[in-house]
């Protein structure tokens, strides 16, 4: 007769087998914590859309801060800038020379008329003194001369205003429009905000890039850290700023990192009560950072061992 193992008995013994397996899976090296390298990337994007015209870097290259990364097509922005600059220049320099010459001619004519009416006023005053002119004729001569003087003064003020150019608020608005146009042109070309590794390029030359879409992913060395997991029994002995040793496969010697973050909550814990037996299963995430020199050639995702 062929022996068979009841399925019900197998399911009943499965939890016990899992406990035995967990008990046998203690760390091979006491005092070592398992973890991996993590990178926080800097995604460089332009706030304006456009076709990718120039990609100045390749994946895997290292760049210094300020190095050009990419440029989008910017003909529309440059046209808008030229228009804004021309508008501002036109407002600052006033009217055209021919328009100013016409105003000057009208002013000279008005002054000649005022001079003529002034002479007529002098003649009417002399005639009135001799009794040869009436008071009404004298008043008309005086009013006519005053009107001519006022007209000449108004034309002189208009000429001065035309020489000054646009109003102060109009010039200020045109200056703001030019500054906005300059910003738009500048945003079509992006440079590296910091030194680091070109971890990835997300578009190719000729492709259309939406506004705010990253084109280059940078990984500065100071953004590489180690993330490891510590049992509840060892967690209390760690503190921020503490130095730890990071062991990488193939590295000639461990690297030194300093703890920058300790998770306030346990991770990867089963949904059971925290009795004494289950507390041994709790682990806490801890992060530590390297010096930029040590982190320069590290690779995110690489598994490591960490010792205090």
CA distance linking residue 130 with residue 146, whole number of Å: 23
The 3-state DSSP class for residue 201 equals strand
What's residue 233's pLDDT?
A: 86
All structural domains of the chain with their residue ranges? 27-40+221-307, 42-72+190-219, 82-182
Q: Is 17 exposed, middle or buried (0-12, 13-18, 19+ CB in 10 A)?
A: exposed
Q: Which residues contact 300 (CB under 8 A, 6 or more apart)?
A: 36, 37, 38, 39, 219, 224
Q: Do domains 27-40+221-307 and 42-72+190-219 have the same CATH topology?
A: no
The answer for residues whose C-beta is within 8 angstroms of residue 169's C-beta and 6 or more apart is: none
pLDDT of residue 26 exceeding 70:
no
Q: Which CATH architecture does the domain made up of 42-72+190-219 adopt?
A: Beta Barrel (2.40)
- Structure pTM? 0.67
For the cut 90, the answer to whether the pLDDT of residue 290 exceeds it is yes
Distances (CA, A) of 113 to 79, 106, 144, 149, 230: 49, 11, 10, 9, 101
Mean pLDDT of the chain: 85
Q: Give rounded-to-5 percent helix, strand, coil for the chain.
A: 45, 25, 30
Higher pLDDT, 138 or 94: 138
pLDDT digits (tens, 9 = 90+) for 250-262: 888 999 999 999 9
Give the C-alpha separation, 288 to 225, whole Å.
6
At 138, is the secondary structure helix, strand, or coil?
Answer: helix
What architecture is the 27-40+221-307 domain classified under in CATH?
A: Beta Barrel (2.40)
Which pair of tokens denotes residue 133?
Answer: 């002119």
pLDDT at res. 9: 39
pLDDT value of residue 272:
43
């Amino acid at each position: 007769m062929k022996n068979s193992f009841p399925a019900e008995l197998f399911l009943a013994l499965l939890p016990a087998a899992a406990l035995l397996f967990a008990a046998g899976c203690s760390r091979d090296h006491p005092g070592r914590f398992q973890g991996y390298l993590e990178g926080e990337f800097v995604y460089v994007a332009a706030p304006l859309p456009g076709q990718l015209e120039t990609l100045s870097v390749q994946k895997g290259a290292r760049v210094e801060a300020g190095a050009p990364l990419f440029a989008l097509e910017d003909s529309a922005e440059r046209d808008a800038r030229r228009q804004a600059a021309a508008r501002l220049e036109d407002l600052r320099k006033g009217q055209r020379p021919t328009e100013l010459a016409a105003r000057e001619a009208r002013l000279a004519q008005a002054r000649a008329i005022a001079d003529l009416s002034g002479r007529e006023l002098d003649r009417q005053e002399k005639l009135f003194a001799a009794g040869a002119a009436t008071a009404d004729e004298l008043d008309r001569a005086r009013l006519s001369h005053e009107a001519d003087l006022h007209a000449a003064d108004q034309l002189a003020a208009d000429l001065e205003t035309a020489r000054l150019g646009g109003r102060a608020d109009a010039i200020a608005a045109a200056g703001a429009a030019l500054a906005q146009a300059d910003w738009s042109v500048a945003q079509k070309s992006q440079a590296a905000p910091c030194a680091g590794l070109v971890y990835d390029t997300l578009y190719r030359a000729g492709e259309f890039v939406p506004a705010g879409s990253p084109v280059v992913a940078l990984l500065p060395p100071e953004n590489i850290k180690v993330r490891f997991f510590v049992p509840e029994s060892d967690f209390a002995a760690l503190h921020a700023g503490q130095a730890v040793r990071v062991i990488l496969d193939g590295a000639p010697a461990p690297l030194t990192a300093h703890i920058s973050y300790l998770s306030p909550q346990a991770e990867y814990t089963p949904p059971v009560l925290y009795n004494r037996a289950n507390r041994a299963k709790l682990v806490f995430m801890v992060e530590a950072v390297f010096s930029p020199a040590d982190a320069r050639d590290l690779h995110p995702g690489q598994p490591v061992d960490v010792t205090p």
